[in-house]
Amino acid sequence: MFYNESGLIDWKQTFNKLRGTKMTKKEIKAQAKGRNGQIDFTISVDDNHIDDIIVNKSSETPAIFNQAFGKLKDSVIKNQSFDVDAVSGASLMTQGMLDSGKKALEENGIQTKVVNVSEHRDITLNVDVAVIGTGMAGLMAAARALSMGKKVVVLEKNGYIGGATILNGSNVVGTGSRVSAEIFGKEAAKDSPVRLVKDITRECRGTNYLMLSKLLADNIGKAVDFITDFADLKYQKAETQTVEHSVDRQIEMPSESSYELVTKVAKAFEEKGGQILLDSRVEKLNKDKDGKLVSLVAEGKHQTTTVNFKSLVLAAGGWGAKDYEAHKTSVLYYGPMTSTGDYFDFAKNMNLVTRNLDWYKVYPHGLEVEPGVAKLTTYSTKEVSDMGAIFVNQDGKRIVDESAPYTHFRDAIGEQKGKVAYIVMDQKMWDRFYELMLKYGFTKEEVQGFFDLEGKKSPVLVKGDLKTAADKAGINYKTLKETMDNYADDVKAKYDPEFGRDPKFLHAYEGDTYYIIEQKQRFATTLGGYETNDKMELLDTNIDPVANFYAAGEIVGGANGHDSMPSMMNSWSYASGFVAGTSAADNANFNIQVSENIEADAVSGASE
């Protein structure tokens, strides 16, 4: 008899022994190269059957990795083979896992099935409203149109949902919402759409388009309340209420995760009858004989989809990755590499008017995790700034009021040699900084790897006594020591003569261990884009609305001007999506019924 750890009979081992066979269960280790580093995983195999795949180590962005890996794992186990398709939008990581998994099985003599290649098929869908993009703007528009009784389909080029939204926190403003009234109580009455527009205008120094700013402010409360009811969401007061906002108005999901947000909204959308098509890259827009937009064609690995619609909402995100790869900006990029502005190709002959295509939302808080690519540390940096941490340059001098708005940091860092600054922290500050790093996209192994670099290359994360840390970081120790001594005097005096920092943020450093962390400018979001009217109808170069064509989210520029406040890009996706979905549904009511054979009347595609 064979017994398990609990002392009970292990009948499987006993039966195999009696059969005279050997156990073939194996745990096979494999490694793959992801976008952000090495991925370690284990393949559980029993009698040549793949039972499970478990990831032991990964530095990939969790919101993308979890979706892509889940889809990959299901496909491998279902087909009992690593000869399956990589996941669109995460092909580097997933193909790496497929190749290394297959190699690991072969080296262990494991035979798996040969997967038959699926035949390519053509399908046609007839809907009231089609939406391109599964970021929050697209999901909001789709959910709103669906709630108004319309048949809605959402197309996503990637093999996972969320777009750039899943790289953000979930925080938005709740101005004018029932939700905010419940969260903030009487304090909510201090806020108003007028006050929000004033804050937007001040922060971007008047570069915003007032019509869109007012549209945002007037509709964000309606959008928050709508999606809360639609997807049964729960919000709380955001952990961080940033100084750019003149009142407390920022709210977020309890997990603070926009991944939770989009997955819940997508689930509710599908449960209520909406359809989401992944791996569906729109490549062509078609007009009818009267020149009106009536259909699109999307391509996937195994399917070509033609969608006939009454209204189309374009919510396909920004083009930051496109500009980054084209070296149009020297600012580090931290957005999804799938933000490639494909619509500039498939909609190029729609004669859409654009503005401010060189505007980016630049943040001052980021680590350069690989050449040219950053990860955000916004939440960590804001927290330790409130705890009293200071920013210095390579000369060891303070450069800014550390409790000022983000734009002050951005401009100050941009003026430094190498456009880099450093946060100096004590142990208590670092512990909180590190806690929030792990909460927002970093792993323990990744952070330890940064420290192992000993400051010899970016990103610089070092620790030790002040001299040791300064030397490792390449900072002038003598000047830094003077800076720290002067700051200690300022703390005691509760007065900052150099930058006028609010005394409530002047806190003494504790202990003899210091952490010095590099900070560089970074961007993910583009702030320019296509122009629309107040119904979110796209405009052509004659500033006339394009029939049946709407837009929402990052692709539409102007609401936040050149510098959006924290939470405002998410807020724009909510409000613009809500308005676009409403307008698209209304348009469908007055549009002619979609014909089964509408494609027969279509003239050349807009992208031809």
User: Does 5 fall in a domain?
Assistant: no
List the one residue out of 309, 291, 333 whose CA is nearest residue 584. Answer: 309
> 354 and 373, same structural domain?
no
Q: What is the mean pLDDT of residues 596-606?
A: 42
What is the reported pLDDT for 378?
Answer: 83
Are 429 and 576 members of one domain?
Answer: no
Task: Kindly indicate the confidence band of residue 279, based on its pLDDT and cuts at 50, 70 and 90.
Answer: very high
Q: pLDDT, tens digit, for every residue of 347-390?
A: 998 999 999 999 988 888 888 887 777 788 888 998 999 999 99
Shared domain for 91 and 34, answered yes or no, is yes
> Residue 277: helix, strand or coil by DSSP?
strand
| pLDDT of 4 above 70 | no
Whether residue 598 is contained in a domain is answered as no
> Does 94 share its domain with 207?
no
User: Is residue 251 domain-resident?
Assistant: yes
Same domain, 311 and 371: no
Q: How confident is the model at residue 601 (pLDDT cuts 50, 70, 90)?
A: very low
Selection from 65-79, 134-148, 154-168, 247-261 with the highest mean pLDDT: 134-148
Pairwise pLDDT comparison (153 vs 5), residue with the higher score: 153
Q: Is residue 188 domain-shared with residue 298, that is, in the same domain?
A: yes
Query: Domain holding 535: CATH number?
Result: 3.50.50.60
| Diameter over CA atoms, the chain | 85
Which residues are 29's β-sheet partners?
42
Distance CA 311, CA 473 (A): 55
Query: What is the number of residues in the chain?
Result: 608
pLDDT(608) > 60:
no
580 with 490, same domain?
no
> What mean pLDDT comes out for the span 199-220?
96
Q: Considering 108, 141, 162, which residue would you say is the last residue of a domain? A: 108
Q: Report how far residue 118's alpha carbon sits from residue 160's, in angstroms, rounded to the nearest whole number.
A: 20
Q: How many CA atoms lie within 13 A of 328 on its CB side?
A: 14
Single-letter residue type at 402? E
- pLDDT score for 376: 80
Dist. CA 250–CA 170, nearest whole Å: 10
Neighbours of 58 (CB within 10 A): 23
CATH number for 379:
3.90.700.10
Q: Model-level pTM? A: 0.82
Cα–Cα nearest to 233, from 215, 251, 245, 212: 251
281 shares its domain with 136: yes
Beta strands in 470-583 (DSSP E): 514-520, 522-526, 529-530, 537-539, 545-551
What CATH number does the domain containing 58 carry?
Answer: 3.90.1010.20
Residue where one domain finishes, among candidates 524, 540, 567: 524
> What's the CA gap between 234 and 237, in Å, rounded?
11
Domain that holds residue 386: 364-524
138-184 confidence digits (pLDDT tens): 999 999 999 999 999 999 999 999 888 887 788 999 999 999 999 99
Of 524, 542, 574, the last residue of a domain is 524
Domain count, the chain: 3
> Could you tell me if residue 256 is inside a domain?
yes
| pLDDT on residue 341 | 92
Cα dist from 245 to 54, 201, 262, 364, 521, whole Å = 43, 11, 25, 18, 22
Give residue 77's region: left, alpha or beta (phi > 0; psi -120 to 50): alpha
